[in-house]
Amino acid sequence: MSDLKGRTAVVTGGGTGIGLACARRLAEMGVETILMGRQLDRLEDAAKTIAGARAIRCDVTDEDSVAEAFAAAGAIDILVNNAGIAAAAAFHKTPMADWQKIQAVNVDGLVRCSQAVIGPMLTADYARIINIASIAGLRGGAYVAPYTASKHAVVGLTKSLSLEYARTRLTVNAVCPGYVETQIVENAIANIMAKTGRSRDEAIAELAKTNPQGKLIQAEEVAEAVAWLCSPLSGSVSGQAITISGGAI
């Protein structure tokens, strides 16, 4: 895979999980990585494990925070929109505040960050936006309606932007993993255990069975797909929602 030496990438939600794995993989390709998220201490600890990485606090739900963070970041070639949250509940028991909280991070936050970089990207010689969506953005999901709706929005936005900016050097793609072994999935495991009385192993098996390969996805697998979409060799790939789900879709 062609290297990206001299390029700069922002990864939101970059302190843990998929975001951190993406930052590490991009750094291996020569990218200067900037980790963004709400918890600066965590970001700084993560940045110490990646050569040349920087940490910048950013709350994607706050317009001023986003503006300040991207101003501090400077010129950006690659944006990985990874910040996201999830929750599980019956739809008719979901408070509107919970619905809005998920949309505020997963959709509105992604829009703010994309708008922060997309202007300069339209005249740049190289530009990539990768949105971390989910297989939930391609199909329905019981008890996760707010999350599913948010990820459908991400996939739809990805396809629209890829067409809108097709005549520029910018490509816009989404990566749609199944259950990835991250803190969000740990929360889902704990929720299953609490609500059903199942053991941890049984809860993991419940999630893993959604993958025809019978396993949880690793963050590094998602990062490898992101790295390819960021590379020069993927220049004709845009508007795609690439699944990493063991064949679930």
Do residues 180 and 163 touch, judged by C-beta distance below 8 A?
Answer: no
Identify whether 147 is a catalytic site residue: yes
> Of 143, 147, 165, 179, which is the active-site residue?
147
Q: Are 57 and 69 in contact (CB under 8 A)?
A: yes
- For 174, phi then psi, to 5°, come to -120, 145
- In the block, residue with structure tokens 């001023």: 64
Contacts of 172 (CB under 8 A, 6+ apart): 128, 129, 131, 158, 161, 162, 165, 238, 239
The whole-angstrom separation of Cα 3 and Cα 93 is: 48
DSSP for residue 174:
E
Q: Where are the beta strands (DSSP E) in the chain?
A: 8-12, 32-37, 54-57, 78-81, 127-132, 170-177, 241-244
| Catalytic residue ranges | 147
